[in-house]
Amino acid sequence: MNPIKYKGRAGGIFYLLFRNLFFLSLVLPLFFLLLFSFTERYAWPELFPTSFSLRSFKSILFQRKALFQDTLFSMVFSLLVSLCTVLVAFCTAKYQNEEGLKGKGLVAFLVNFPIMIPATVFAMGAQILFLKIKIFNPFLTVFLAHVLYALPYAVSFLQEGMSRKMKLYEEQAKVMGAVGGRLFWKVSLPLLYPYIFPAFMMSYILSMSQYILTLILGGGKVKSLSLIMVPYIQSGERNLASAYGLIFLSSSFLLFFLLDFLEKGIQRERG
Amino acid sequence: MKKRFLALALSMSMALLACGGQKAATETSVAGANAAGTNAESSVAEDKATEEAKAEGSADFDALVAEAKGQTVNFYGWGGDDRLNQWLDGYYAEYLKKNYDITLNRVPMGIEDILAQLSAEKEAGAKESDIDMIWINGENFKTAKESDFLYGPFTQNLPNFNNLVSQEDPETNKDFAYPIEGYEAPYGKAQMVFYGDKSKGDFPKNTEELLAYAKEHPGQITYPALPDFTGSAFVRNVIYDIVGVEQFQTVKEDKEAVRELVKPAMEYLKELNPYLWKEGKTYPEKEPTMRNMVADGELIMGMTYSAYLVSNSIADGSFSNKMQTFIWDKGTIGNTNYIAISKNAKHNAAAQVAINAMLSEDVQLNRYETLKTIPVLDNSKLSKEVQDAFAKVDLGEGVLEQSVLLEKRLPEMPAGLVPIIEEIWQEEVAGK
């Protein structure tokens, strides 16, 4: 299964070295996040922190509302954002992949626009736009802005997936008599799932970590996890920032495993 | 086949859960609030009786209390202080709920963003604002008041403001020398203090000794880069120590005039630069960064606006117990921070009642005990028992008595001078 073939001894060692370094670069920060969430003082020149406390976790447990209500709200909100983003991205990517349609270049440009401008400018522009078209509900405006912001990433993933052999397979399935829902469930979705997965994940993470956008458009009404976490990061509350960071990460992991579970279900269905 | 439905059902139920769950949550909370309302009625009635006994002619305030009942008040302010957040969400929120049936919703948002939102709302012609109470002072208050973002005057409506707050205290009437005129009520007092490691020799008591101290410990002292709030206050404190205090209360807000006046202080800061952390080529971006560097032993002293930071931090374990607070002989700058109400606040009555509650003896005492914020009440106007209770509060290790601080308290400069001095520092000191 290993895609990299061992090419001699040196190649093998290099492969192992890089693989382990890569692994460490992922795991070490996590380890420090965990360590820092208990650390009060990290005195120079000690190698490890010298003073520990449970203050951050006590504080988070005390702020039950922040922990359960706001975190759950954030997760559900971001899940809905990702769901909507993937749906919109699906339509956009489908349009971009059809032949003989006009205005593809313009659509691609517009979709990718939010990447090209700084987040603050995007937020201010979005706020003025929403005020002008009289959408005052902060939940709706934040939702729409998150979708717009995550869309370019999701579209590029899905377009990648569609531009491959997908069309050929779909045509083949149609020839063999598959139509409508059956075609979608049996052929399109399983083929596209490996691309939907990262698109969904990406949208979720982008939505969860939006601070400026949520703050400015939500006006403090939409209380997401990042809105609680970022002030602690800014004020140098190392242990609280780390502890909230861990909650943040675990929500992403949870979604990852859920999607992974779904993928296994879908792939088995195909086979 | 079954698996496919499972996958579908799972994603559907997630979406349903989101909508349904939220709705159910609001329903229960509404029901809860109703139940609490009936329960709280009796206690509110009792409290009202005591309130009436305390303050004569508070019929208007009673009307406010009645109007505020059952409202949720949004309190916007900087959210990076965990102890303060816990206290607001804990003691203060419970106090409001129990006594007035007001629910406190604390919104962590920096003052720049609050002002930006108020300005956007004004531009869009919004009639109502979610921003009720605002934690504010200084230049930001001046900006907000001049831009007509604030509601007022309202402080004369508050019995506790009239009865317990000193009306002669300059900080009750002026915020950074800018007239308050009833548009904000005091919330807490801050005073610039220094803190350092006792084991590194005697603490400097003025700018001259600070230079010697820095030469003795090169690279172990610094201050946050302006326009950081604390860094800016430190530079103003240096100016006071070298140039003097009075002339700044009257000087014209003209950059060149101020530049001429603060010249000796800027010369001093330039002289100090080579002995600072990284030889003064760069500075910590913000006060918290510097504080962490002191906590980690990279620096040996720091400065803060929270006069009791050291005892709180020693209690947390983030400072070692070698840390000690000190101030300069000529004194350090003190200011008050305030709560204002936005002009179009949706819950104006609840905001006024909540601010009045913040100024009550119980709340200020609890705040002093828990957070050790210097109280804004006039000690001589308090009852004997409350005075004793204030005196009994254990301030913890490594700090100075309130009386020592207040005796050496210097007034803030006029709000308009603050950005001018920050600009001059950028031009003449930073990186030089």
Cβ B289–A236 below 8 Å, yes or no? yes
Residue-range domains of chain B with CATH: 48-188+337-392 (3.40.190.10), 191-335+397-428 (3.40.190.10)
Concatenate the DSSP letters of all residues of chain A into one string.
Answer: --SS---HHHHHHHHHHHHHHHHHHHHHHHHHHHHHTTEEE--TT-SS--EE-SHHHHHHHH-HIIIIIIHHHHHHHHHHHHHHHHHHHHHHHHHHHSTT-S-HHHHHHHHHHHHHS-HHHHHHHHHHHHHHTT---HHHHHHHHHHHHHHHHHHHHHHHHHHTTHHHHHHHHHHTT--HHHHIIIIIHHHHHHHHHHHHHHHHHHHHH--HHHHHHHTTSS--HHHHHHHHHHTT-HHHHHHHHHHHHHHHHHHHHHHHHHHHHHHHHH-
Residue A216: inside a domain:
yes
ipTM of the complex: 0.74
Chain B touched by A111 (CB under 8 Å): no
Distance CA B364, CA B353 (A): 15
What is the count of residue pairs from A and B with beta carbons less than 8 Å apart? 116
Chain A touched by B53 (CB under 8 Å): no
Cβ B109–A76 below 8 Å, yes or no? no
Residue among B3, B113, B291 minimizing CB distance to A269: B3
Chain B touched by A262 (CB under 8 Å): yes
Compute the nearest-CA separation of A160 from chain B (Å): 24
Residue A20: inside a domain:
no
Residue A200: inside a domain:
yes
Q: Show residues of chain A in contact with B113, CB under 8 Å.
A: 215-216
Chain B touched by A229 (CB under 8 Å): no
Please check whether residue A208 is in contact with residue A226, taking contact to mean a CB–CB distance below 8 angstroms. yes
Cβ B4–A59 below 8 Å, yes or no? no
Compute the nearest-CA separation of B317 from chain A (Å): 6
Please check whether residue A234 is in contact with residue A53, taking contact to mean a CB–CB distance below 8 angstroms. no
Residue A9: inside a domain:
no
> What are the structure tokens assigned to B221, written together?
């002292």
Cβ B17–A76 below 8 Å, yes or no? yes
Tell me which chain A residue has its CA closest to the CA of residue B228: A235
pLDDT at position B32: 37
Contacts with A, B 200-239, CB within 8 Å: none
Residue A39: inside a domain:
no
Residue A3: inside a domain:
no
Please check whether residue A213 is in contact with residue A119, taking contact to mean a CB–CB distance below 8 angstroms. yes
Query: Given a cut of 60, is residue A37 above it in pLDDT?
Result: yes
Whether the model pTM is above 0.95: no
Chain A touched by B401 (CB under 8 Å): no
Cβ A223–B89 below 8 Å, yes or no? no
**Tens of pLDDT along chain B (432 residues)?**
444 444 444 443 433 333 333 333 333 333 333 433 344 444 444 444 444 444 444 678 899 999 999 999 999 998 878 889 889 998 999 999 999 999 999 888 888 888 988 888 887 777 888 899 999 998 899 999 999 999 989 999 999 999 998 888 888 988 988 999 999 999 999 999 999 998 888 899 999 999 999 999 999 999 999 888 899 999 999 999 999 988 888 888 888 889 999 999 999 999 999 999 998 899 998 888 899 899 888 899 999 998 899 998 898 888 888 899 999 999 999 989 999 999 999 999 999 999 999 999 999 999 998 888 888 988 888 888 888 888 888 888 888 888 888 889 999 899 889 999 999 999 998 887
Q: Show residues of chain A in contact with B126, CB under 8 Å.
A: 136
CATH number where A63 lies: 1.10.3720.10
Nearest to B236 by CA among B415, B110, B405: B415
What is the count of structural domains for chain A? 1
Residue A22: inside a domain:
no
Residue among B79, B116, B130 minimizing CB distance to A231: B79
Residue among B76, B82, B109 minimizing CB distance to A232: B82
Segment (H or E) for B135: strand B133-136
**Distances in Å between the alpha carbon of B82 and those of A59, A209, A246, B163?**
8, 21, 17, 31
Chain A touched by B12 (CB under 8 Å): no
The length of chain B, given as a count of residues: 432
pLDDT at position B367: 92
Residue whose entry in the numeric block shows the structure tokens 């100024």? B359
Nearest to B229 by CA among B100, B29, B415: B415
Residue A239: inside a domain:
yes
**Residue-number span of the structural domain to which A202 is assigned:** 56-270
Tell me which chain B residue has its CA closest to the CA of residue A223: B107
pLDDT at position A7: 57
